[in-house]
Each structure stands twice: as C-alpha cells, then as structure tokens.
Chains A and B, each alone.
Chain A
Amino acid sequence: MSILLSNISKQFGAFSALSNINLEIPEGELVALLGPSGCGKTTLLRIIAGLEQADKGRVLLSGVDKTTQNVSKRGIGFVFQHYALFRHMTVFENVAFGLRVKPRRERLDNETITKKVHALLELVQLDWLHDRYPDQLSGGQRQRIALARALAVEPSVLLLDEPFGALDASVRKDLRQWLRNLHHELNVTSIFVTHDQEEAMEVASQVVVLNHGRIEQQGTPSDIYDHPANAFVSRFIGQTNIFDMAEQDADWLQIAGLLPTQKESKIAHVRPHDIIIEKTSANQDAPATLKDWQHLGALIRLELVKNGSNANTPSVFAEMPNEQFKQLALSRGDKVALQIRQAHWFQ
C-alpha cells in the first residue's frame, strides 16, 4: 500500500515536533526514517499509525484519507522499540491476539488460527518457543515475536519504531539482514525509524533523513551518501572531514586537489576514503604527519595533522584498505602527502 503524507505538522506545547512534512512512499518499499534523537521521526511514525493525531495535514494510505481513522481500523502493523508483548500471554497467544479480536463475521475458526499462528512463528523461526512467556525470551526473540504478532493481521503497512534499538550489537546485525530478507519475501510496505545511519543504509531501499521536524533529504542509500543535499545530511551520513576554505592557511588543501566547483562554495566535506595518502621521503617538504591509526577490520583509519598547525586544529581522517596500508609501511610520525579525490561543497 502506498503512503502519502501531506503537510503534516505537530506541536507539543511550544515545541514544534514536525513542520509541514510532505512524503510519498510507493508500494512495497522498505523505508528508513533516519535522524538524530528528538528530530520527530517517531512522532511521524506514530501519526502514520494513528497512535498520534497530527495538528495539521493528512495521511493517505493507498489514496484513501485515513487522517481521522482510529488506529485499530487502519490496518497497520506496529512494532515497538521495547516490544510491548502482552506479558501475561504465551508467545502463541500474543501472536494470535490480532486474529482473536476480529469481529465475529471476519474471525477465523480456532483451527485456522492455530495453523496460521504456527506458520507465522515458523516464519520468524521461533515456533519452538510457542508456549513460553515473554519474560522467558531474549531481546532478539521478543522482537521477532512482536514482528510475527504485527504480521498476523496481514497489515498493509508495517511500521517499526527503532526495532533494533534495545538489542546487542551482534543480535542487531543478524536481525537487520533478517528483516531485509523478510521484506523481500513479504513485500509489504514498511517504514522503520532509526537513529543509526549504518542501519538505515544497510536495511532500507529508501532513506528519509529528518532533522528538527523537517525532511532534509529522501532517496536511495547511494543517492544520500553520494549526493547529500546539504551539510547536515553529509555530516550525519557516514564519516566526513569538514574544511572551511575561507580560513587563512587553506592553500595546502588546494595543493592537495581541493578546488571549489563554484566560486561561492566555501565549505568542503571530504569522505575519509576520498583522501589518498602518499609517503614522502624524509627530506621532502610534506604537508602532514601521521599522528595515529586504528584498525577497523578491512579498513585502516589514519589520523593526520597538518604540519605546523597548533593543537586546536582538528585532525584529518583518511581511510585505506588494510593491504594498501601494509604496502605503504607507514608508522606514527611519518611525513605524508595527501591528494583529495572528491569533495562535496556547501556554502
């Protein structure tokens, strides 16, 4: 089901949580609402669900205006950050709940419900836990049960509020991949809220970046990474070095290949992997020194300081593959030259 939000605004007292949000989500997408905490992303999700009412604007699902419709009639599935499983019900009863509360005319018979619940539990690979209570499960298991419960009513839209927020890093990684696969399988339009840009890039087919209650950019993960619409998006998505060309000693950056595309552009954002490092011989005049480096697995992150700068100048970060770093045989204190391959310019 497609989702259309037009002119959504929401105030909490004097605080404007959302202002004039316009957003269109085509059917079958897996969308991440990404932003720092307090940017309004959860509020937006709750407005789509009907758990919260917008002060202004409309919510259309499949072209039908659902702005004032009650949450229980919207046909959405909602997964909460802290799972919100019914603690006094077994896993089986949790998943069956949505099927049991249907009006008598639409309700399936008990046998069909039982079959369906077991099928859903198999889908989330937890059928063996069907007679446990929520407090006997791990966080990852609980979240998968919460997902099965939301899917039981065959929602046309699946909404997930920080679904991995409360989980361990390793469980989180597994579940991300699993959610992506599940989405491929079911193809139900899904929106999830996250503050973790890596998670958004990894899982979503579309990313919507929010800040201060406004949409900064919407696009595929590659769009957003390669063509950030503004300085906020560029800073928020991935690591970036920020250079202000208006400062006095910016010449060395121009020598390194950092040239503005337009005259009025003053601020350059450079990704660490767009900085190429060359080792210089001892007697050569080198612009920077290797201060430190960290092993990130496949990549090595190098911390560089400009020669002759004072202690307050921020370091420049570069990244290169592990192999290449070994070949260069760099060690701390070595003089290096840099070359900047690509930059994003902002005013």
Chain B
Amino acid sequence: MNVIQLPVNKLVAPKPQALQDPDWVRWSLITIAISFIGLFILLPLGLVIVKAFSKGIEAYWSALSEPDTLSAIKLTLITAAVTVPLNTLFGVTAAWAVTRFDFKGKSLLTTLIDLPFSVSPVISGFIFVLLFGAEGWFGDWLVQHQIKIIFTISGIVLATLFITFPFVARQLIPLMQEMGSQEEEAALSLGAGGWRTFWSVTLPNIKWALLYGVLLCNARAMGEFGAVSVVSGHIRGITNTLPLHVEVNYNEYNIVGAFASASILAALAVLTLILKTALEWQQARR
C-alpha cells in the first residue's frame, strides 16, 4: 500500500546510547536494507532504461513517436487530468466530513474509503463491467440511450477514479484529526464565514499533505493497470493507456517499444519521488 505518513518532525536528536547495537548488527542490517533496495528497485529501473535504448537512441525515439504510443500518452494524461482534480475534491470533502462532523456511519465511511486499497484492482475493473457492460445492470438502459462506458475512455476514467480515490482522503484525515478544529473556531469567532475560514485557515494548514496526496493519486492514476485493463478492451490507439500499451508491445515481442513506453512511466515515477522528497523537505523546514 502506498500510504506513507508525512514525517512530522525531522529534528535530528542524538541517538540514545542504549539503542546502539554492536557494529556487526548495525552493518548487516544496513547492508541488507541497501542490497534489497538495489536488487528490487534500482536494478529493474536501470534495466528498463538499458532495454529501452538497446537498439540505439533513434529506435527509442521512433518507438515513442509512433501514433499508438502518442495516443496512449495522451489518454493517460487525460485520465489523470480528469481523475486527480475530482479525487482531490472528494478527498478534501471526505476528510472534512470525517474529522469535523459527528454522524451515524462515520466509521463505516472511514473504512469504505480504504476499500479500493484492499480489493484487487482487477476485481474493481470487473465491478464496472458488471454495472455498465452490455450484460450488466445498467447495460440495457445504456444501450437504449446509446451511451457507451465499457471499452471507452469513460470506463477508463471511472475505473481510475475508483482506484485512486483513497489517496487524498487518507493523507488528510490523520492530519486534520491531529490539528483539531480550534483554529477554525477561532476564525469563526473573529467573524469569518465558513468559506473564508476554509481558504485562509484550513487550507494553508493542510496544503503540504494535500499536495502529497495529490501527487500519490496522480502517480497511481497514470500507472494503474489492473482495473483499467479490464474495462479498456485494449483497442490500439483508442483505449490503450501507457501501462496497457507497454503490455501490448511486450506481448508482441516489440522490446524497444515496450521499454521505451515503460521508461516514460518510470520517469514519471522518479519525478513523483523527487517532488515528494522536495515536499517532505519543505514541510520539515516550516
């Protein structure tokens, strides 16, 4: 699961002496951690780059500038552009509701927010097929009204929306719980309205966590494979997102094509990591 708590405090305190293990314990633990990361993260990431450029930089460029690849990139960007703002809105709303109001079914809501994390993405995809597919619950109605969801971009967006909705809410809820609502009450008592209080008091306090959540949400929206794979139908140049495009190319033994597209996704992931680290650093400084 990709939910990572923001570091609350990065004060460098001297390590208590009682917790200092003997040298050999320390070094072997550090070595294990580093080699694990090297073996399972850095090595594969390097291999992606190497494979992508295995037939030279020109082959790499031509693989990327293929119309199907470009269309996959475009579709991925559109999906992220629709789902990320919607889920940001949803996340803030849900976090606000859970931390500021008492209502029946609150704990149920908090649990349900986590559902997309606990269900396999493939199953999430199938839920949408069962709902909107030709044989699905709303299938007849949709056919009558000539609305197509499954095997179209709408289906991809819906599935991605479902998969990525916990990210923002999950980042905000613990933070807003810990902050309490006293600053907001103070703003209200000073004559500020609800909207003003949100913009000038709540939002500045949660902005780093919010950005962090948005970043994780975006990374997943661009990288989601399972759920999207089920609803997309793999129509080349129309309903293939980048991760799907990678798989199609790979299955066709188009190694350079597959890894060139994969390198873009990997670059996105690395960029996300860099931004995330920058955010953490920002947060620790304030």
A contact set with B: CB distance below 8 Å: 49, 51, 70-73, 76-78, 80, 82, 84-88, 97-98, 101-102, 146, 149-150, 152-153
B contact set with A: CB distance below 8 Å: 182-183, 185-193, 196, 200-201, 204-205
Q: How far is the CA of A82 from the CA of B185 in the complex (A)?
A: 12
Q: How far is the CA of A152 from the CA of B185 in the complex (A)?
A: 16
* Apart from A84-B182, A98-B190, A101-B192, 19 more pairs, CB < 8 Å: A51-B188, A71-B188, A71-B189, A72-B191, A72-B193, A78-B185, A78-B189, A80-B182, A80-B185, A80-B186, A82-B182, A84-B183, A86-B201, A87-B183, A87-B205, A97-B187, A101-B190, A146-B186, A150-B190
Closest-by-CB residue of B relative to A94 is B186
Q: Can you list the 3 inter-chain pairs with the closest CB atoms, starting with the nearest?
A: A98-B190, A84-B182, A78-B189
- Could you say which of B192, B193, B205 contacts A97, with CB atoms under 8 Å apart? B192
**Chain B contacts for A102, CB-based, 8 A:** 191
Distance between B177 CB and nearest chain A CB, rounded to angstroms: 16
A86 touches B191 (CB 8 A): no
Q: Which of B188, B190, B201 counts the most A-chain CB atoms under 10 A from its CB? A: B190
Q: Which of A80, A85, A101, A149 counts the most B-chain CB atoms under 10 A from its CB? A: A101
Distance between B175 CB and nearest chain A CB, rounded to angstroms: 13
A150 touches B189 (CB 8 A): yes
**Chain A contacts for B188, CB-based, 8 A:** 51, 70-72
A97 touches B204 (CB 8 A): no
**Chain B contacts for A80, CB-based, 8 A:** 182, 185-186
Q: How far is the CA of A98 from the CA of B189 in the complex (A)?
A: 9
Q: How far is the CA of A49 from the CA of B182 in the complex (A)?
A: 13
B189 touches A51 (CB 8 A): yes
**Chain A contacts for B186, CB-based, 8 A:** 78, 80, 84-86, 146, 149
- Could you say which of B187, B189, B190, B205 contacts A88, with CB atoms under 8 Å apart? B205
- What are 21 A-B interface contacts by the 8 Å CB criterion? A51-B188, A51-B189, A72-B189, A72-B191, A76-B189, A77-B189, A84-B185, A84-B186, A85-B186, A86-B204, A87-B205, A97-B187, A97-B190, A98-B190, A98-B191, A101-B192, A101-B193, A101-B196, A102-B191, A150-B190, A153-B190
Closest-by-CB residue of A relative to B191 is A72
Distance between B179 CB and nearest chain A CB, rounded to angstroms: 9
Closest-by-CB residue of A relative to B183 is A84
Distance between B1 CB and nearest chain A CB, rounded to angstroms: 30
A97 touches B200 (CB 8 A): yes
**Chain A contacts for B204, CB-based, 8 A:** 86, 88
**Chain A contacts for B182, CB-based, 8 A:** 80, 82, 84
A153 touches B205 (CB 8 A): no
**Chain B contacts for A72, CB-based, 8 A:** 188-193
A86 touches B183 (CB 8 A): yes
A51 touches B185 (CB 8 A): yes
**Chain A contacts for B201, CB-based, 8 A:** 86
Distance between A220 CB and nearest chain B CB, rounded to angstroms: 29
Closest-by-CB residue of B relative to A82 is B182
**Chain B contacts for A101, CB-based, 8 A:** 187, 190-193, 196, 200
B183 touches A49 (CB 8 A): no
**Chain A contacts for B200, CB-based, 8 A:** 86, 97, 101
**Chain A contacts for B187, CB-based, 8 A:** 86, 97, 101
Q: How far is the CA of A86 from the CA of B196 in the complex (A)?
A: 14
Q: How far is the CA of A87 from the CA of B186 in the complex (A)?
A: 12
Q: How far is the CA of A242 from the CA of B29 in the complex (A)?
A: 66
Q: How far is the CA of A102 from the CA of B183 in the complex (A)?
A: 18
Distance between A134 CB and nearest chain B CB, rounded to angstroms: 10
Q: How far is the CA of A87 from the CA of B183 in the complex (A)?
A: 9
**Chain A contacts for B196, CB-based, 8 A:** 101
Closest-by-CB residue of A relative to B186 is A84
Q: How far is the CA of A70 from the CA of B205 in the complex (A)?
A: 24
**Chain B contacts for A153, CB-based, 8 A:** 190-191
Closest-by-CB residue of A relative to B203 is A88
Q: How far is the CA of A98 from the CA of B193 in the complex (A)?
A: 11
Q: How far is the CA of A335 from the CA of B272 in the complex (A)?
A: 82
Q: How far is the CA of A233 from the CA of B114 in the complex (A)?
A: 52
Q: How far is the CA of A86 from the CA of B183 in the complex (A)?
A: 6
Closest-by-CB residue of A relative to B182 is A84
**Chain A contacts for B205, CB-based, 8 A:** 87-88
Q: How far is the CA of A211 from the CA of B230 in the complex (A)?
A: 64
Q: How far is the CA of A70 from the CA of B192 in the complex (A)?
A: 11
Distance between B161 CB and nearest chain A CB, rounded to angstroms: 31
Q: How far is the CA of A85 from the CA of B196 in the complex (A)?
A: 16
Closest-by-CB residue of B relative to A95 is B190
Distance between B190 CB and nearest chain A CB, rounded to angstroms: 4
Q: How far is the CA of A84 from the CA of B187 in the complex (A)?
A: 9
- Could you say which of A49, A82, A86 contacts B189, with CB atoms under 8 Å apart? A49
Q: How far is the CA of A246 from the CA of B200 in the complex (A)?
A: 65
Distance between A20 CB and nearest chain B CB, rounded to angstroms: 25
Q: How far is the CA of A78 from the CA of B200 in the complex (A)?
A: 18
Closest-by-CB residue of A relative to B189 is A78
Q: How far is the CA of A175 from the CA of B190 in the complex (A)?
A: 23
Distance between B271 CB and nearest chain A CB, rounded to angstroms: 27
Q: How far is the CA of A157 from the CA of B192 in the complex (A)?
A: 17
Closest-by-CB residue of B relative to A88 is B204
Q: How far is the CA of A80 from the CA of B193 in the complex (A)?
A: 19
Q: How far is the CA of A105 from the CA of B188 in the complex (A)?
A: 19
Distance between A109 CB and nearest chain B CB, rounded to angstroms: 18
**Chain B contacts for A150, CB-based, 8 A:** 189-190
Distance between B200 CB and nearest chain A CB, rounded to angstroms: 7
Distance between A283 CB and nearest chain B CB, rounded to angstroms: 64
Q: How far is the CA of A87 from the CA of B206 in the complex (A)?
A: 11
